[in-house]
Every structure is written in C-alpha cells, then in structure tokens.
Amino acid sequence: MADVVDQHTRSRMMSGIRSKDTAPELAIRRGLHARRFRYQLHRRDLPGRPDLVFPKHRAVIFVHGCFWHGHDCNLFKWPSSREEFWHSKITGNVRRDFESVATLKCSGWRVLTVWECALKGRGRQSLYDVLAQIEAWLKSESAEEVIRGLEADAAG
C-alpha cells in the first residue's frame, strides 16, 4: 500500500515523534516528584538509557510506547506499508529492550517497565493507580515488574 502523504509531509510527521519527554513519561515524572521521589533522567551510562533512574533504590523505569516497542495490546498494529522495514525496526527494538533489561538485572539494578497502554486507550488505568503501583514497587525488593493496560493484563 502506498503512503497517503508525500515524502516531505511524512518526514515532518515522523520528526515530531519524541523518543523522550513523551506525555506518559512526563505524567509519571510529575507524579513521582510530587510523591517526593527524586530521580535522574536518561542516564547514558546505563544500558537502554532508562527514562528514570533511582540510584537510592537501585531501580530504573522504562516508559515504553506500545507501537515502537511492539507491545501485544490494542494500541499496537503492524503497519501495512513497508512491512519488511517496520518488522525489522520493531523486532530490533524489542530485542534491544530485552538485552538492556537482562544487562541491568545482571548489574544489580531493578527494572520496571510502564507501557503506554497503562495510561492511554481502552484499558487504561488511572494515573493515580499507576503511580501507586510504581511507588509500591520502588519500596519493595522486586527485581522486575511490568505495568500495562487492563486489557493487556486480561489477554496475557
């Protein structure tokens, strides 16, 4: 299927997609800051450059977009154009995510992944509930946790 917009328009649209400081990430940052958690952002010395790093808790949080990280939820749909490109791009992201989490855990870091569908879409949870889950995880000893939308939880 051919693209419905010209190359210049598509380039402008794609350049507007953020890799950091996304709306879900900013909402989580504001909420955790209000709950008196202090963190560092996007540390380059850690695998995967986690969105939030809590050195005091030896914990990191990734806030993943469901499309870009290939999440099995209602927000993810394989594109119908340039299928080979997108399959390679998204599966590569998933592979790197897996490797980053494994490396962080081997280095003694605890890892939490918050999926975009937890805060957006049909199965979204309230921001208050997501922040309460994050706070409970930070105060726990759990090595790895995932927060996703309610429909994604029911499916898998």
> 98: buried, middle or exposed (CB in 10 Å: 19+, 13-18, 0-12)?
exposed
Scanning the chain, the segments in alpha helix (DSSP H) are 7-15, 23-34, 83-106, 127-139, 150-155
Architecture of the domain whose range is 7-155 = 3-Layer(aba) Sandwich (3.40)
Q: Give the SS3 label for residue 72.
A: coil
Report domain extents, the chain.
Answer: 7-155
Q: State how far the Cα of 91 lies from the Cα of 85, in Å rounded to an integer.
A: 10
pLDDT tens figures, 31-84: 999 999 999 999 999 999 999 999 999 999 999 999 999 999 999 999 888 899
